[in-house]
Structure 1
Amino acid sequence: MPIKTSGAADTQPVRITRLQRELAQRLAQDIAAGVFELDSHLSEKVLSQRYEVSRTPVRGALRLLAESGLARCKPNSGYYVARRAQVDDTAGAPEGAPLTSEDLYRRLVADRSQRLLDDSFTDSELLHRYGVPRSILMKTLLRMASEGVLEKRQGHGWRFPASLADDDVRKESYRFRIVIECAGLQEPDFMADQRAFQDMRERHTALLADVQRPIVTDEFFALNSAFHEMLARCSGNRFVLQAVQQQNQLRQLDAHPASYPVSTLERYVREHLDILDAMEAGDQEWAVAVMRRHLKATQWAA
């Protein structure tokens, strides 16, 4: 589904820049991957921080999403996700342009999560599959390797690291997360982003309002990942943030359709809210205790 790029239907059409088109495509891909769940608020500030651009291209990209039906604009409120795009619909680059390194990164993660990629592969296999220049492919693979999402095989090719679907690997991952994320809450430069905290609180509260409906993995994963990444960003420590983002990427590689029990979901959501309350109240000790308990429990349902 190429993102619609025509101007407004009036005598003064709005000029659409290449950056706006590319950003709209990346947003569509993230919506398809479940990063932004249905009806979630697409905050200009949050998106500009996430994609490291100013609010102007974000605003243009949101208009394009609205034209394509992926987002809707609520008066005096902003844009919200209107429907979930399909990964195949958002895979192409805008206006037939070749895939960028960022596009390819997202394609590789999405294809791996659907088990469309084997555990190991060669450069040639990826070049044939995605049709990108070798320079783009190598830039992407080296980035993924530096972030721990890929490993270089001795001699020839690449492989994905041990799967978090493996019980021992998953437990090791959660032990690491307990160390990193609890430390992040105690960073001296931790500063709660009030707007981000409020947005996160509203999204969690919305889930509690409909707890009679089991929630599928990708819906909960999107909110859960955004919650932990937000806290890491508030820590003010770039290495804490990088570690949490890496863990989220590794978890996304093993995303699979499933449902969380209503009682379990409600407990996890309330624990998130307890952590927000504690950090806003300046009670880091209690927030750390809840986070440790939360991560120990969720490893069995991740």
Structure 2
Amino acid sequence: MTIKTDGPAVVKATGAAADTCEGADAQPVRITRLQRELAQRLAQDIAAGVFELDSHLSEKALSDRYEVSRTPVRGALRLLAENGLARCKPNSGYYVARRAQLDDTEGTPDGAPLTSDDLYRRLVADRSYRLLEDSFTDSDLLQRYGVPRSTLMKTLLRMASEGVLEKRQGHGWRFPASLADDDVRKESYRFRMMIECAGLQDTAFTVDPRAFQDIRERHEALLADPEQPIDSHEFFTLNSMFHEMLARCSGNRFILQAVQQQNQLRQMDAHPSSYPVTELDRYVREHLDILDAMEAGDQEWAVALMRRHLKATQWAA
């Protein structure tokens, strides 16, 4: 469904308890991108029959299913209600009000038709939320996303060329071995240790002052308020940027391509909520230590720090 918002993207705040929808007359608050995207996914799943008409949309169940906290779930449910897909029962919560049609689910949260890039991001997000099976057909995706076949094929071929999707013999597609598997994850991290450490030692490695400063400021911003826990979604995005930036500075296109592919696989199979929040502060500081070592010209120490960092994070990614 194309989720519509009133004016500058707001929903009405409520102090009601979990799984209730009282307080509808409270002051409006700005909604987040995560809430809009989650509402979009819920609308798609309602259209696909995952949630039956009149079924209870439990905050806890949705939080567990989509691996997010209850706060974005609550905002997404309000958006569904405002768009007529959900209705509130006092002291009970939200229920499916009507079955969304496939045409309703087309487009981005801002109402524009899905482009190939939009669909790519949606597929990556839905895979990370385990909303897509390991194997599927063109028809499965056409029914789920309601995009033109040309857009779908362009997107699938791009994903296949990047190694995040494979064509099955006969017909259909499948995702390669998942990083959620312990053995596959171990292989991935052994590969990353070889590739990323080699990148730091490459004779063509050049410190890009502007890129280093930008990534440093982003890390320091996460540490600015010691009383405020680091958001796992922010770290997940910044972590990918950090490793890709170092690979780009290596001056070796093949190392960069390898790191980009690993990042894409992790976007498919690793969800931000999988990171232990208590460790994020340490991971950010380890990134800063690696930057310090490279800027000081101590590649050997930077390699040691990178290897230790990857070993520490492999079970949290």
| TM-score (normalizing by structure 1) | 0.67
Q: In structure 2, do the counterparts of structure 1 residues 218 and 94 end up closer, same or farther at CA, with 3 Å as the change threshold? A: closer
The alignment status of 1:242 with 2:257, answered yes or no, reads yes
Residue 223 of structure 2: aligned partner: 208
Q: 1:93/1:258 Cα in 2 relative to 1: closer, same or farther (>3 Å)?
A: closer
Provide Cα deviations, 1:56-96, integer angstroms capped at 9, x if missing partner.
xxxxxxxxxxxxx99xxxxxxxxxxx954432578825986
Matched, 1:111 2:118: no
Q: Does 1:130 find its partner at 2:145?
A: yes
Secondary structure of the corresponding residue to residue 189 of structure 1:
coil
SS in 2 for 1:228: helix
Tell me: CA distance 1:199–1:237, structure 2 relative to 1, closer, same or farther (3 Å): same
**Aligned counterparts, 1:1-302, within 5 A:** 84-85=33-34, 86-88=36-38, 92-93=107-108, 98-254=113-269, 255-258=271-274, 260-262=276-278, 264-302=279-317
**Structure whose alpha-carbon radius of gyration is higher:** 2
8 Å contact kept, 2:248–2:256: yes
For 1:234, give the aligned amino acid. C
Q: Judge conservation of contact 1:215–1:259 (CA < 8 Å) in 2.
A: no
Q: Deviations over 1:168-203 (max 9, x none)?
A: 111111011111111111222222221221121122
Superposition deviation, residue 214 in structure 1: 3.9
Measure, in 2, the Cα distance between the counterparts of 1:214 and 1:154: 47
Q: What's the C-alpha RMSD, in Å, of the aligned pairs?
A: 2.8
Q: Residue 223 of structure 2 contacts residue 230 of structure 2 at CA under 8 Å; is this kept in 1?
A: no
Hey, what's the Cα distance between the residues in 1 that align with 2:187 and 2:227? 33
Determine if contact 1:216/1:258 at 8 Å carries over to the other structure: no
User: In the aligned structure 2, how far is the partner of 1:3 from the partner of 1:242?
Assistant: 38
For the 8 Å contact 2:275–2:316, the answer to whether it is kept is no
8 Å CA contact 2:236–2:272 kept in 1: the answer is: no
Query: Aligned pair in 2 of structure 1 residues 265, 94: CA closer, same or farther (>3 Å)?
Result: closer
Under a length normalisation based on structure 2, what TM-score does the superposition of the two structures give?
0.64
SS, match of residue 215 in structure 1: coil
Write the deviation string for residues 103-127 of structure 1: whole angstroms up to 9, x where unpaired: 2111110111122211110011112
Unaligned segments of structure 2, at least 5 residues: 6-28, 41-105
Contact 1:113 1:256 in 2 (8 A): no
State the shift of 1:256 in Å.
4.9
Q: Deviations over 1:34-66 (max 9, x none)?
A: xxxxxxxxxxxxxxxxxxxxxxxxxxxxxxxxx
Contact 2:37 2:109 (8 Å CA) reproduced: no
Could you list the per-position Cα deviations for residues 261-298 of structure 1 after superposition, in whole angstroms to 9, with x for gaps in the alignment? 43x32322221111101111111111111111111111
Amino acid of the structure 1 residue aligned with 2:244: E
Show CA shifts across 1:117-146 (max 9, x none): 111100111122222222222221121112
- Extract structure 1 runs of 4+ deviating beyond 6 A: 1-4
Distance 1:111 1:269 in 2: 27
Q: Which runs of 5 or more residues in structure 1 are unaligned?
A: 5-68, 71-81
Question: Who is 2:84 aligned against?
Answer: none
Larger RCO (CA under 8 A, 6+ residues apart): 1
SS state at 2:273 partner: coil
Count of equivalent residues: 227
Distance 1:99 1:261 in 2: 33
Q: Percent identity?
A: 76
